[in-house]
């Protein structure tokens, strides 16, 4: 590959251009393939230019994760608020939004839960996104659409189901044998809500 033509960026534009190029590369090749020198070549800047904005690879990943969680939080809220004012329906909506985000933002999604981006602890947008799920589960409990008691096991169950399908898609393990994510996405949240309601009835 020939040398990239040098591009003129003002300070903020280069930072955003590097993040955008990194997200695109990660969506194609995965997090482990990200390299700041190669990223600079993609953006058409000198090899040292990224270091004016990110001290190292981990700092870049952290910036991508934070931006991803902000978009993720907005997607969750939008889908939840568009659902009927019913606790189970809103939990279903979060399940749909979770998987759809992974389908439409695979580069961000791969970074958001990657260990290198989480070393400094969860981001504030990430914590807010988690609280949206927790609050939805607690609302189901209050509506007797989920078992009473400690919500943590229910939150973990819902999160594992949503994240599991999203990760299978992002990692290229789907679709096969009729498991296309476009068809399965609405079912994940629905099955979680029905399972919680069934457990509440048994209790």
Segment 81-117, tens digit of pLDDT:
999 999 999 999 999 999 999 989 999 999 998 766 5
Q: Are residues 135 and 194 in the same domain?
A: yes
Q: Are residues 38 and 122 in the same domain?
A: no
DSSP state at residue 34: -
Q: How many domains does the chain have?
A: 2
DSSP state at residue 151: S
- 18 within 8 A of 34, measured Cβ to Cβ: no
Crossing angle, helix 57-82 and helix 124-142, to 10 degrees? Answer: 30
Q: Provide the residue range defining the domain that includes 97.
A: 64-202
- pLDDT tens-digit profile of 176-201? 666 676 777 788 889 999 999 999 99
Domain assignment present for residue 151? The answer is yes
Q: Where are the beta strands (DSSP E) in 56-125?
A: none
Domain assignment present for residue 20? The answer is yes
Q: Are residues 75 and 32 in the same domain?
A: no
Nearest CA to 145 out of 84, 194, 80, 102 is that of 194
Q: Are residues 75 and 121 in the same domain?
A: yes
Domain assignment present for residue 4? The answer is no
Q: Are residues 70 and 47 in the same domain?
A: no
Gap between the Cα atoms of 198 and 29, Å rounded? 42
DSSP state at residue 175: S
Q: Are residues 74 and 144 in the same domain?
A: yes
**In the chain, what percentage of residues exceed pLDDT 70?**
87
**Quick one: tokens of 76?**
């969750």
Angle at 27 between CA 77 and CA 68, to 5 degrees: 30
């Amino acid at each position: 590959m020939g040398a990239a033509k040098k591009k003129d960026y003002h300070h903020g534009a280069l930072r955003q251009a590097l993040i955008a190029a990194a997200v695109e590369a990660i969506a194609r090749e995965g997090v482990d393939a990200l390299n700041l020198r190669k990223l600079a070549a993609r953006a058409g800047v000198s090899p040292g230019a990224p270091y004016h904005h990110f001290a190292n690879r981990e700092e870049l990943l952290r910036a991508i994760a934070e931006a991803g969680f902000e978009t993720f939080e907005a997607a969750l809220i939008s889908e939840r608020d568009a659902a009927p004012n019913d606790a189970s329906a809103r939990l279903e909506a979060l399940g749909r939004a979770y998987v759809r985000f992974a389908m439409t933002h695979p580069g961000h999604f791969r970074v958001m839960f990657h260990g290198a981006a989480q070393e400094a602890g969860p981001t504030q947008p990430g914590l807010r996104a988690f609280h949206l799920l927790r609050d939805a589960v607690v609302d189901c409990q209050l509506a007797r659409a989920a078992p009473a008691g400690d919500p943590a096991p229910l939150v973990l169950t819902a999160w594992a189901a949503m994240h599991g399908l999203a990760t299978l898609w992002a990692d290229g393990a789907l679709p096969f044998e009729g498991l296309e994510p476009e068809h399965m996405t609405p079912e994940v949240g629905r099955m979680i809500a029905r399972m919680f309601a069934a457990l509440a009835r048994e209790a």
